[in-house]
Structure 1
Amino acid sequence: MQEDGKLPLKRVELSLTKFNDVAIPHHLDLLRQHKANILKYEELGQYARVRSEQTHARRVASQLRSLLGELEALRRGVRPPDRARFDALTQGSRERTLAAIMDYLGVIERSCIALVDSSRPSTHPRPLRTDRSQCALDGLRGHRARHSAAAGGPAGDIDPGARGGLGRMERAAE
């Protein structure tokens, strides 16, 4: 019987099977395909396609996180004595999903660094950054500069060094 609105594991096994055998493997395969495409297009220098694949991969990663959330909600609805068995049945899927998301984040980080480096003029190379937040800031600065220049206005408070030229510190050292 149900206790406190909790279900026995037998009642949720069909949902678990669908998670483990259909939904999660499907999304993991999509994420693998997007990762392969990101690497391929990056190697070919097709950065517009890289960005497109990153967008699609980000959506798939978000869907995988949602699936993990649904799995956790389903776990909360299972009777406490059945939770150990529930965890055993879902552990492999959860580990594969988290590993795939972490791997994807590593690819995105390397891809972002490559995009930033490729957009810099070769006359003033700057050191490679491995900090994700700085990589995102560089992309944002470039976005602001492009839109401000397209509108005919000044680039705003953007440091010229952020657009690939010499920064204040580098100019002072000369």
Structure 2
Amino acid sequence: MALRLLANRRLLSTCATRCYAAGADFLKDVPLKNRDGNVNAADLKDKAVILYFSAGWCPHCRLFTPKLKKWYESAAKKEGVEIVWISRDREAEHQVEYYEKALPNVPYIPFGDKHIKEFLEKYAVKTIPQARLVNSKGEVVEAEARNKIQVRDVSLFFLFGLYFNVVRT
């Protein structure tokens, strides 16, 4: 019994330091689209957000994106996670083609939007593919989200620990 209480205490302590507010307040002025049309950042208010940086011309992205799609469709979507795709494609046509062919129906920033460059700088994206779990202010909670998704094909709790005990604000 004492061990169980100690374990629960550690769990609560860990949760207190690792839980975060869900949402995408930092995306409120960013144009977002998906296959159904425009997406409002307010639609993401109760979701954990992962920013995914990739491109159709990138061989590593073409290898990782199917794993991300499978993970999203089998676990992430059900557990309140949304991926926002930020493309590094060099032409609008290539962005749309890769999105339609490879990605799940997640929000993305349209080609040429100024926020793409801002996010690349803010999140220090030097190579792709990259994925960052962020909080409602856009602060990085987990910089190595891509590696965790790639290595394991399990539920979010096991991938990110208690990050997904989302505190709704």
Range of TM-score over shorter length: under 0.3
Structure (1 or 2) with the greater helix fraction? 1
- TM-score normalised by the chain length of structure 1: 0.27
Structure (1 or 2) with the greater strand fraction? 2
Task: Compare relative contact order (CA 8 Å, sep 6+) and give the higher one, 1 or 2.
Answer: 2
